[in-house]
Structure 1
Amino acid sequence: MAAKTYYWVSLWFLLTIPVIFWDAGYCFMRPRSMVGGDLHWIWKPYALYQDIDYIYGWKAYEEGDGFTNAQSPTALLNLVENGMNIAYLYLAHVKGTPAATLLGFASVVMTLSKTVLYWLQEYYCGGCSVGHNDLQTLIVYWVIPNGLWLLVPSFIVWRLGKDLASALFVAEKTAKKEASGKKK
């Protein structure tokens, strides 16, 4: 049985792969990727963002805050997530294996979990990295872009989760049918 694919799910994975690599590159290359660094030209939009979200800026870097490189939404786990995204696309569209659904589900659950953790950190630390922004800046440059990473993965979790649950029900029904056939 071939993998069931959805255009919008594959498009999300395809479009986010370069974004995730770019973001991880910025984080791992700090301080060279930051304003004043010799590689900053590659990550020029971060000139604004590092002042909006201190996790990406000098404050976190100078304090040795490891959250940026180790955890959500950046760097090390992003590379793992991206590997899973690439594997999903390969397994779903090249190999056509139903295992792609499980891998895609696991990857998007990771994306969603990391993003929720990112938001919860801000909540529990009282906005320590973004609370200095005015409301408009916060909404336009932090809530909307990061909200997209909550919204789309939530829909993908729902869609792929439904497919996995359906496959499990079919497998259960088949196993029961085979078991009852063997009893006769």
Structure 2
Amino acid sequence: MAVVNWKPATWITAWFLLTAPIILWDATYCFMRPRSFEGGDLHWIWEPYSIYQNIDYVYSPEAYAENDGFPNAQSLMNLIETALNLLFVYLSLVAHWPAAPLVGFASALMTLSKTVLYLLNEFYCNFCSIGKLGLRDLIQFYILPNGFWIVVPTLIVASLGREIASRLVSQHTVEKAKKA
């Protein structure tokens, strides 16, 4: 069964395209440590990270000094997710590949899972990275930004999951009719 001229919702494409440079910027901050830290020769590229290196332990010089591998491991996963996001956009809008929704679904599920892991890690270490924050900073610099990385990928997973399920049901119906 061929799916002809399927296009993803514009908001899904927009999310994947708009988040790509943000993720690249974030990942390169982690990969370029200590040069990206406040006081480093390349810090001017990541100036706003002065806030995060003092708010979230994961981005801190202390985590780097302690050889905490999580920031770079997460950054590598971010780059893989972003490559899949951009591949999804290409496969769905340029190549018109019928299985493109599966790539987008997998990528969004990776983003969602990784973000939930990030938050669960914080929960299970008794808020070791952010426990010192006041409520305003916690909401502004942790809950809201991370919330976007949970809510939007969840919506993408739901949307593309429905598309995939619909195609599977349609194919099953066609095959069942052929057998009858």
- How many percent of aligned residue pairs carry the same amino acid? 53
Q: Does 1:55 align with 2:55?
A: no
Q: Does 1:39 align with 2:39?
A: no
Deviation for aligned residue 1:97: 1.5
Deviation for aligned residue 1:21: 0.5
- For 1:82 and 1:155, how far apart are their aligned partners in 2? 17
Question: Which residues of structure 2 form unaligned runs of 5+?
Answer: none
Q: Structure 1-normalised TM-score?
A: 0.94
Structure 2 matches for 1:24-173, cutoff 5 A? Answer: 24-71=27-74, 75-173=75-173
- For 1:62 and 1:15, how far apart are their aligned partners in 2? 32
**CA deviation string 1:71-97 (max 9, x = no partner):** 3xxx11011111101100100111112
Q: Structure 2-normalised TM-score?
A: 0.96
- For 1:59 and 1:143, how far apart are their aligned partners in 2? 22
What is the aligned-residue RMSD (CA, Å)?
0.8
Question: Which residues of structure 1 form unaligned runs of 5+?
Answer: none
Deviation for aligned residue 1:110: 0.3
- SS of equivalent to 2:94: helix
Deviation for aligned residue 1:4: 3.2
- Residues 4 and 101, structure 1, Cα contact 8 Å, conserved in 2: no
Deviation for aligned residue 1:64: 0.7
**CA deviation string 1:109-157 (max 9, x = no partner):** 0000000000000000011111111111011111001111001111111
How many residue pairs get aligned? The number is 177
Aligned partner of 1:26: which letter? Y
Residue 8 (structure 2) aligns with: 5
- Residues 3 and 101, structure 1, Cα contact 8 Å, conserved in 2: no
Residue 23 (structure 2) aligns with: 20
Deviation for aligned residue 1:98: 1.8
- Residues 92 and 98, structure 1, Cα contact 8 Å, conserved in 2: yes
Deviation for aligned residue 1:175: 1.1
Aligned partner of 2:140: which letter? V
Deviation for aligned residue 1:3: 3.0
- For 2:50 and 2:18, how far apart are their aligned partners in 1? 23
- Residues 5 and 92, structure 1, Cα contact 8 Å, conserved in 2: yes
**CA deviation string 1:26-57 (max 9, x = no partner):** 01000011111111000000011111101001
- For 1:99 and 1:90, how far apart are their aligned partners in 2? 12
